[in-house]
Amino acid sequence: MSVNRRWFARIGAAVFALALLYPLSALFARVGAWQWNAQVRGPALDSVRVSLLLTSVAMLAVVVLGTPMAAYIAKCRAKERLVWQAALLISILLPPLALGILFTLAFAPFAAVGRLLQQYGIAMTNSPVAFVVTQVYVAMGYYVLGAAAAFNSVPTLLQKQAALLGLTPAKVFLRVTLPLARLGLAVALSIAWVRAIGEFGAVVVTAYYPSGMPVQLWVDLQSFGLPAVMPLLVIFLAVALPLPWLAHVLAQRQSHA
């Protein structure tokens, strides 16, 4: 590629990137003095605590349940792998609002599972459990597919050599596969994190209370307007964006090392 063509390509890429990042300029929009009085601040800070705490619990469940599934998918035959990937894609592709309605109906007291949970005092609407379960569902597919890809990237030869040296399958996984796939797993987890913490459509149906940040942003917008939204919006972006961005940068640095 000639120097001129390379510069034209760079300019085009820069314009493309600026267009993608342009919405962030709205953080400096003239919406009036930002509102952060007690009426706004209390519910906003509560929503931050709800999102951070319950999303962390959801991510723990995603890792504990999703990592073995991802390891199995990475090892199974191609035809079987397609079946599991198709199932995961369905959970990813379900429209969020439709998912929230389906979740509410599936765990309603008149449904078998909902009736069983109700006997043990577990409420699946407007409860921390409903919040966590909804987030686990919306994030699980992203994590498992990403984690399976990370496990697939580990050279099979290294794993076979470790087994020939006498390591059990469990030790091969813990000492060879897992360390070599760690950054890919971090990227998968970061994507699941931002997907879960930013979920609105499903959570607003299943767990309007306790309100996480996305729901509280909507409530503030409807009740007080944009000046009351902006402080929580900045906090929301600061919480949601750094983890996936940093994981991606570290993964790219390792791949080019």
DSSP string covering 90-152: HHHHS-HHHHHHHHHHHTSTTSHHHHHHHHTT---SSSHHHHHHHHHHHHHHHHHHHHHHHHH
Domains of the chain in start order, with CATH, are 40-255 (1.10.3720.10)
pLDDT computed for residue 254 by the predictor: 64
Can you say whether the dihedral through the CA atoms of 154, 158, 163, 166 is positive or negative?
negative
Whose CA is closest to 235, among 20, 41, 17?
A: 41
Residue 209 has pLDDT above 60, yes or no: yes
Question: Cβ neighbours of residue 141 under 8 Å, at least 6 residues apart?
Answer: 88, 89, 91, 92
Q: Which of 73-77, 106-110, 128-132, 247-251 has the lowest mean pLDDT?
A: 247-251
Residue 44 has pLDDT above 80, yes or no: yes
CB distance 254 to 186 below 8 Å: no
Which of the two residues, 2 and 186, has the higher pLDDT score?
186
Single-letter residue type at 56: S
Split at pLDDT 50, 70, 90, the class of 248 is: confident
For range 122-151, the mean pLDDT: 95
97 token code pair: 């609002």
Residue 196 has pLDDT above 90, yes or no: yes
Unique residue bearing structure tokens 């034209």:
8
Unique residue bearing structure tokens 């360390």:
179
Split at pLDDT 50, 70, 90, the class of 166 is: confident
At 171-180, the pLDDT tens digits run 888 888 988 8
